[in-house]
Structure 1
C-alpha cells in the first residue's frame, strides 16, 4: 500500500473529518465567547472596578522605564509587567466556554437518550409486557 493511499484512507475516515469540523467550529465559538466576555461581561464587571479595564490590572516589574497607566502603554514602553488581569480574563473566557460546552453536551445527551428510548409506553402496554414476561417464567 502506497504512502499516499494510506494517508488518503486515514484523512477520509469519519473521525478525522468530524475532528476537523469540530476544531473549525470551536475556533469560531471561541471568538464569540471572547467577544461576549470582552464586550459585554467585562464592562459590567468594570462598573464595580471603577471603570478600569480588567486587562489593565498589572504589576510593573521594571520601574526604571517610567510608569504606565495601561498594559498597552507598558508594553509600548518596554516595561516588564506581571499582567494578572489578562490572565484572570483568560480564565473567565475558559470558564464560560467550558460551561457552554457542558450545556451543549448535556443537551445532546438528552436528545440522544430520547431518540434511543423511542415513544413512551402506556400503562396498559407496560402491564402487558410484565404479564407476558411472567408467563414465560
Structure 2
C-alpha cells in the first residue's frame, strides 16, 4: 500500500475504508478462531488492495500457530502496535523510515511534531 505511488491521490474516505478493512482483518485473526492468529509482520506492504481499494491482510509466511500459542511470546499487542504505524503512514503519507543522512522513524517524526505543537503538518494535506 503506497499512497504516493500513483498519479491519483487517495481521499480521506478511501484511506478510512482501507484502515477499517485492515483493522477488521486483524480483529478476525486475533478473535475469530482458536487458537488466535498473531500476524507478526503487520506493515503496509502486507495489506493488499483490490481495484475498489478494499484492504486484505496478507503474508502469513512467518506464522507458526503451535509455537505462538504454546509460548505466548507474541500477542495481539505486537500486531496492534504495528497497525498503529500503518495508520501513521495512511495519515501522513510518509514512509516508515525517511531521510537519507539522518534517518528517522515515522513514530519519532510524529512525536517531534506533536512536541512542537504542530499537528497540522502531520496530516497529508492532499
Structures share fold, TM-score greater than 0.5: no
TM-score of the pair, normalised by structure 2: 0.30
- The structure with the largest strand share of the pair is 2
Higher relative contact order (CA 8 A, sep 6+): 2
**Greater Rg by CA:** 1
- The structure with the largest helix share of the pair is 1
